[in-house]
Amino acid sequence: MKKRSIFTRFNNWFIFSLMTLVVVTIVIASTMVINYLLKEEIKRVNILVNAIKFQQEEVTPSLEVQELLLSIYSSNNTIPVIILDEKDHLIVYKNLPAEIGDDAEKIVVLAKKMANNHPPIEIKFSNGNNQFVYYDNSVILNNLRYSPFLLGFIVLCYFLFSFWFLRTVKKTDEGYLWAGLAKETAHQIGTPLSSMIGWIEIMKLENPDSDGIAEMEKDIERLKTISERFSKIGSVPELNDMNFNQTISDNYNYLKTRISTKVQFTLLLPSHLILLPHNKILLSWVIENLVKNAVDAMKGAGTLQMSVLEKTKTILIEVKDSGSGMTKYQAQNAFKPGYSTKKRGWGLGLSLAQRVIQEYHKGDIRISQTEIGKGTTFRIIIKKKETDSH
């Protein structure tokens, strides 16, 4: 079991590391692409600046040069550009937001804001009438700045959803597996049990007053109950309004005679009647699992207390032992199928108990308290009917 848990944890960390690596890689790759596009836009602005300077300094440019300059001007359809003189008088502008319009004052204010993102490029002329080119990122590039994080978030959500989906499918498959195993166990027990009932009847004819036969009948009835429990796993059981105290009391009386006399086993019940919808056979199974685990944890000697507490909307059943207690890791994994701290057993008892309480009785079962060397308290929570007046 330890090897399996270590291997499982290694797989979990590997998957987590792989997911993190993929998301980080996507973010870094997208950031590199955006930085490349940013540098390309800056290059285009520099080409535009050089074209403006050449045009104003060249007195008689050739037709080819004029066509080239016109091509450079017209190629910029995305980068916002504002050109001002040394006294902040507007000379020319292009690709500005629609809300700015042709308002010169707003355009100058916008140019100063652009300077916060990119320092203006100064165009020096021989006549001393220098100009300043203000520019900003294109709208597309500004929007792309957030795309790496958005893309990384989407990929992370996809991985998490896939992990959750596969885990849910796995749990569902495990549930069907254990239910099938339980039903098959009930079927296998039923065949020799029927034969044993027949032999008991024959023995009773020969010696009807035998104490041994009477005890064997009790054990056979117990085997019939166990078989019925297994057969109910995987099907929807009937929940009937029954005396809850009586169910717990009957279970206590049966278990008390079958555990070690070194265990001081006590039961605390409310003095008044509690009617609660429950399945007596399955709930008794849950209690039996908790009691047997407690006795094992105490190594057959100690104090064991079972109590029923009534709250406003719920009924609590607590099983408290003075056993070895659990570590934090053991408590977190106690209800997982296949997990067990014992050398024997399949680790199904608490898992099936959780299923009986959560799925069939719509309640909850948990470890409410545990401490190494001081014991463990299991708590079952079952909701009362809304019409219950208690």
| C-alpha dist (Å) from residue 246 to 112, 286, 317, 355 | 84, 15, 13, 23
| C-alpha dist (Å) from residue 55 to 25, 60, 125, 207, 262 | 45, 9, 11, 125, 106
- How far apart, in whole angstroms, are the C-alpha atoms of residue 377 and residue 231? 29
pTM of the model: 0.48
* Cβ-based burial of 239 (10 A; exposed 0-12, middle 13-18, buried ≥19): middle
pLDDT in tens, the chain (390 residues): 444 445 555 666 777 777 778 777 877 888 888 888 888 888 888 888 888 778 777 666 667 777 777 787 778 888 898 989 888 888 888 888 888 888 888 888 999 898 888 899 888 887 778 889 999 888 888 888 777 777 778 877 877 777 777 777 666 656 665 666 666 566 567 667 776 777 777 787 778 778 777 778 777 777 777 776 666 665 566 777 788 999 999 989 988 888 888 999 999 999 888 888 898 888 888 998 899 889 988 988 999 999 999 988 899 999 999 999 999 988 988 888 766 766 555 566 788 888 889 888 889 999 999 999 999 999 999 998 765 444
229: left (phi over 0), alpha (psi -120 to 50) or beta: alpha
Nearest partner of 235 among 180, 317, 314, judged by Cα: 180
Residue pair 308/266 in contact (Cβ under 8 Å)? The answer is no
Q: To the nearest 10°, the Cα dihedral for 368, 175, 344, 262?
A: 40
- How far apart, in whole angstroms, are the C-alpha atoms of residue 365 and residue 332? 13
